[in-house]
Chain A
């Protein structure tokens, strides 16, 4: 066992670099084994709690977990693009960034694995359809397709492809904002807020442990994303021509994303009657505050303002009110069934 905390001297790797610190912490904290976690905690208690829930409570969990499994799968797929983007000439081509991006890729794959195992072994009665891989001719789970999250993940793929395939710094800023601020920083963290509340009445122990490991990994991904955005912003502020427009791109993307996120928040709360007491208003407020911290505290963005962002969230809340997802879910149910039958 390593009994020392002393830094070991390195050669070509800059161990003082923040990206190195993030990478090293991923090795120390992010290499948990999802299968071992399942064996260690076991499914029994979760199954018991799950079976005691009424259908509406199960539906609320299923809405949350649908967007988590599809979201983790989507970010895992796009991780390869992040590896490519951070090694582009728009950055300093430091190996430390690439080292961290490779850890992120592994972690996102593992998060997908965790939800796949959990769904299969505990929640499967609410998921007749979840097994298809979107890359192998499938679609997202009908619940995901029906709400803002589904749209957001598709948008993420487009933005990440644009950034990785010869995109300029504003393309990279949009992609990083959507992925690290929107999906990881608000949509996922809002999900943790929701699960904390839902766990009060429906304590799914193994699921909670998984969420704890996952959210710890996500914390590093978000720190990484903000670091990357900060590099782009600094170049813009230094007046480097190719980086002009970065701050504006971040702001515009964040405003676009709060629409998808708020719709998702409504979908997992009020639209299903919120049986496990998450509270739609408080959820959106929490998300908007997290976003405000990232954009106006950490990044000190000049474009937009926290007040304008809160307004955008409030507008999105009004748009979401009364949305009916049932018909859309049903439509995607049929499409999914057809795809499963091999059409």
Chain B
């Protein structure tokens, strides 16, 4: 499995600190270790391949979606939070 910050192939707009904070907060809300949340977010983006090839979540990954300011990592984190409610 690839570390979230080592994933390639996407345009990341947020800083690593912003990502860390967002993961920390989500982990707290979910009652999960931050490492696990980070692992899941990475897997949402790359399916174990090391490249952010999840077009459906990381629209910006293909650098096609100029209007999306969202960092694909934050988009994936949002999705994971929703997934935990389903």
Interface residues of A (CB under 8 A from B): 1-5, 18, 21-22, 25, 28-29, 32-33, 36-37, 40, 189, 192-193, 195-197, 200, 209, 211-216, 218-220, 222-223, 282, 286, 290, 293, 298
Contact = CB atoms under 8 A, between A and B. Distances in A.
- Of all A-B residue pairs in the complex, the 7 with the closest CB atoms, nearest first, are A215-B56, A219-B47, A192-B55, A196-B59, A192-B56, A32-B86, A223-B47
Contacts of A2: 32
A21 to B, nearest CB: 6
B86 A215 contact: no
Nearest to A219: B47
A220 B40 CA distance: 13
B64 A193 contact: yes
B82 A214 contact: no
Contacts, number: 95
B12 interface: no
Contacts of B85: 36, 40
Given A29-B40, A193-B62, A212-B79, 5 more contacts: A5-B35, A21-B48, A209-B82, A213-B79, A223-B47
13 contacts: A1-B32, A5-B36, A18-B48, A21-B48, A25-B47, A29-B80, A36-B86, A37-B82, A40-B82, A196-B55, A215-B54, A215-B57, A286-B62
A36 B82 CA distance: 11
A212 B57 CA distance: 5
B55 A193 contact: yes
A76 B32 CA distance: 33
A37 to B, nearest CB: 6
Contacts of B32: 1-3
B71 interface: no
Given A40-B86, A214-B56, A5 B33 contact: yes
Interface in B44-63: 44, 46-49, 51, 53-57, 59, 62
A213 B83 contact: yes
Nearest to A199: B59
- The A interface, classified by DSSP as helix, strand, loop or mixed, is helix
For the side of the interface on B, what is the size category? 20 to 34
Contacts of A286: 62, 64
| B43, B49, B54, B56, most chain A CB atoms within 10 A | B56
B64 A4 contact: no
A192 B64 CA distance: 12
Nearest to A218: B56
B83 A32 contact: yes
Contacts of B64: 193, 196-197, 282, 286
Given A3-B32, A5-B39, A223 B48 contact: yes
B65 interface: yes
Contacts of A212: 56-57, 75, 79
Nearest to B56: A215
Contacts of A293: 51, 53
Contacts of B54: 215-216, 219
B1 interface: yes
B60 to A, nearest CB: 9
Given A18-B48, A40-B85, A193-B62, A216 B79 contact: yes
A29 B44 contact: yes
A284 to B, nearest CB: 13
A195 B1 CA distance: 28
A44 B79 CA distance: 20
A216 B49 contact: no
Contacts of A28: 40
A200 B31 contact: no
Contacts of B83: 29, 32, 213
B82 A219 contact: no
A200 B60 CA distance: 13
A189 B48 contact: no
A230 to B, nearest CB: 12
B86 A37 contact: yes
